Amino acid sequence: MHLRLVVLMLVVSSFSSMACEMVMGYRTSERLPNIEEAPNNNGLYKDLYTSALANIDCTLKIVRAPKKRIMKMLIEGKVDFYPGLASSRERAPDIYFIKNGLTSKSAIVTRFDHPEIKSLEDVKEKVMLRAFGTNKALTQNHKYIRYVTDLSIAQAVKALSEKKADFFQYDKSAIEYYFAKNPSHNMKIHDSFFRETDVTLGFSKNSIHAQSNPQQPSKMRQFEQALKALKKNNELAQILARYY
């Protein structure tokens, strides 16, 4: 009887580990080197989160859809987390924000003939190009905005070249990665007045993995600790070295 109980506990434990699957949602467009254009999910995000989840006996599933739909699924708990999501008062009631170990610095891209930008005041009368679902903190004080669904850097560069907008604000490392692969003498990068910040992922408060019990912390909190461990033990640096 004792042996049967031990075997049963091992089977249940094994099933529980296999059953732990976290769903990451992301828009359909690429954000290199973080993720390829759908349906290809390869990139830094996949490597980072697969490694962290493996350390808490979970697997990663990636779902791609337009960002507005992904954000709705995130709020509903149908998607567990969004890999890189800036915190905001508007999002806070539905989403936890967890540092993923990465850092980010913004930059602005303009046509090459644009004067040097020293502050956002310099572009307040210019047309900003933004993706739907953008953090409203980036756009709330700007009058002229052209929105595009699932905007990629390539699309932004094309729109700027065609004078459909004046500037595009995005992550500096992603912009530099793009131009390293696709050199252009017609674009200019402005970044002198932005500061580096920690990147956070957005985790749904309605996810089953956000729920805890008296016996152990939630899988979400275990995930958070696993991400910290990747940075501390230098595994994150090894992952980054594959892309930069």
CA dist 144 and 69 (Å) reads 25
Contact 233, 66 (CB under 8 A): no
- Beta bridge pairs of residue 26: 64
CATH topology agreement for domains 13-103+198-241 and 106-190: yes
What distance lies between CA 198 and its chain's CA centroid? 12
13-103+198-241: CATH class: alpha beta
- 182 confidence band (pLDDT: 50, 70, 90): very high
Position 210 confidence tier, pLDDT thresholds 50, 70, 90 = very high
pLDDT average, residue stretch 169-197? 94
**Where are the chain's structural domains?**
13-103+198-241, 106-190
| pLDDT bucket at 133, cuts 50 / 70 / 90 | low
Specify the CATH number for 106-190; select among 3.40.50.970, 3.40.190.10, 3.40.50.1370, 3.30.70.360: 3.40.190.10
Q: Of 26, 24, 55, 96, which Cα lies nearest the Cα of 228?
A: 55
pTM: 0.83
